[in-house]
Amino acid sequence: MKGSIFLFATDLHDEGLEAVLDNIQGRAGLDGVSLACAYHHARDVFPHNPVRKVRYLEGGTVFFRPDSQRYQDLRIRPQVSQLAEQVGILEALVEVAGQRGLAVRAWTVFLHNTRLGSLYPDCAMQNAFGDPYITQLCPANPEVRAFAAALAADIARYGVDAILAEALCYLGFDHGYHHERCFVPLSPMARCLLGLCFCRHCLETAGEAGVDGERVRDLVRQVLEEALAGSPPAWLALELTWDNVAGLAGGELGGYLLARMGAVTTLARAVSQAVKRIRPETTVYFMDMSGAAKGYATGEPAGEPAPNSAWQDGVDVAAVARAAGGLEAIGYARNPERLRFDLTAYRELLPEATPFSVALRPMLPDCDTPANLAAKVAVASEAGAEWVDFYHYGLMPLDRLDWIRQALHG
């Protein structure tokens, strides 16, 4: 099993490319770097950055120099970060990492993009009331799909070894904006319904699958109106499970959810095919974020295994793994046995010989000792992971590099 580490272009620029790679390769004993080539808004604390300890990232931008010809016939085009305008970070990384024998994995946030959602609100997800969610472009929208494929091909031409495709799907209501406010009590079931997209492209996709999307939308709107008015139907208090949601509207909501999953699967296939046309040896890993949704805040995911809730983002784990070619699971859990529980469920779903990688956090809230990290690295290896991606070089104390070496090499 090999190891890589997530990082930002600003980490490389601020600390120096060679210095960072010395830490990654020499101190942590890693085999690769996973650079954020497109990323969302964030405010982060960087404990060892020599330039800024607190930084607001240039959200919704790309951190490489795109080939404008690839987007000339497209409405949606990548927004270039100020750093990428000044410095060719990705090409420099590919060259220097290659000289060192390090793999470069392109960590790419595709559709979770507030900047593009603000520029093209008609391409964003829309709830049952017609309100756009500008934080997330809709995977069923043809213009969005064309942009995603072009972006993936554009990154592949740099010669990266893998593309880690994050947010290549729907996102729920709670994966939102900055300073979100909602003072009306909404159950998990209600929040799930509020996060469903009913844009015209999703309705068309549902119709092609034989589902009356307008009827589903109208039912969801009515139920949410009642919940927002303080009189939710009793069944909104049920546990948020596939069975409880899919049976609504006489089972048509289940059909609607399946149509969403089909849209995500075909998008993953289109992205992978676009990459293979440029560089056949580049592996595309679809990142299923279910483990992050469960464990991000506390490191204590609970309930059913992570992949069982992937449907909430329109993800059929087995189907997207086949379509993309690979899958990365997010293992944000403090307890190694909980991680084993989740990864076992992923392995049971994945087609044989599917490239499989796992993301781990060697820091709080997931990890407070080297032994804990080593136990979880062992679990990932036993689950058949070919790579472990550690989150995140710039956000962790530097001594966690020593923990990583110990976990990987003893």
Contact of 165 with 287, CB cutoff 8 Å = yes
- 349 vs 45, 62, 297, CA distance in Å? 36, 33, 26
3-class SS of residue 8: coil
Predicted local distance difference test score (pLDDT) of residue 270: 98
Sort 150 into a burial class: Cβ within 10 Å, 0-12 / 13-18 / 19+.
buried
396 CB-near residues (< 8 Å, 6+ apart): 47, 362, 363, 390
3-class SS of residue 124: strand
114 CB-near residues (< 8 Å, 6+ apart): 40, 41, 59, 60, 134, 135, 177
Give one DSSP letter per residue of 260-313, joined into a string.
HHHHHHHHHHHHHHHHHHH-TTPEEEEEETHHHHHHTTTS---SS-GGGGGGGG
Where are the chain's structural domains?
2-10+67-372+380-389
Predicted local distance difference test score (pLDDT) of residue 182: 81
Q: Quick one: tokens of 105?
A: 């994995």
Cα–Cα distance measured from residue 315 to residue 262, given in angstroms and rounded to the nearest whole number: 8
Give one DSSP letter per residue of 197-258, joined into a string.
---HHHHHHHHHTT--HHHHHHHHHHHHHHHHTT---GGGGS---HHHHHTTGGGHHHHHHH
Of 196, 380, 386, 368, the C-alpha closest to 285 is 386
Cα–Cα distance measured from residue 260 to residue 18, given in angstroms and rounded to the nearest whole number: 44
Predicted local distance difference test score (pLDDT) of residue 178: 67
Cα–Cα distance measured from residue 209 to residue 203, given in angstroms and rounded to the nearest whole number: 10
DSSP classification of residue 24: I
139-113-91 Cα angle (round to 5): 105
Q: Quick one: tokens of 133?
A: 């969610």
Predicted local distance difference test score (pLDDT) of residue 174: 83
CA 23 to chain centre: 26
Q: Quick one: tokens of 12?
A: 């490389």
Contact of 213 with 207, CB cutoff 8 Å = yes
Low-confidence ranges of the chain (pLDDT < 50): none
SS3 sequence, 331-392?
A: CCCCCHHHHHHHHHHHHHHCCCCCCEEEEECCCCCCCCCHHHHHHHHHHHHHCCCCEEEECC
Q: Quick one: tokens of 93?
A: 């990384």
Predicted local distance difference test score (pLDDT) of residue 168: 97
* Architecture of the domain delimited by 2-10+67-372+380-389: Alpha-Beta Barrel (3.20)
Beta bridge partners of 35: 7, 106
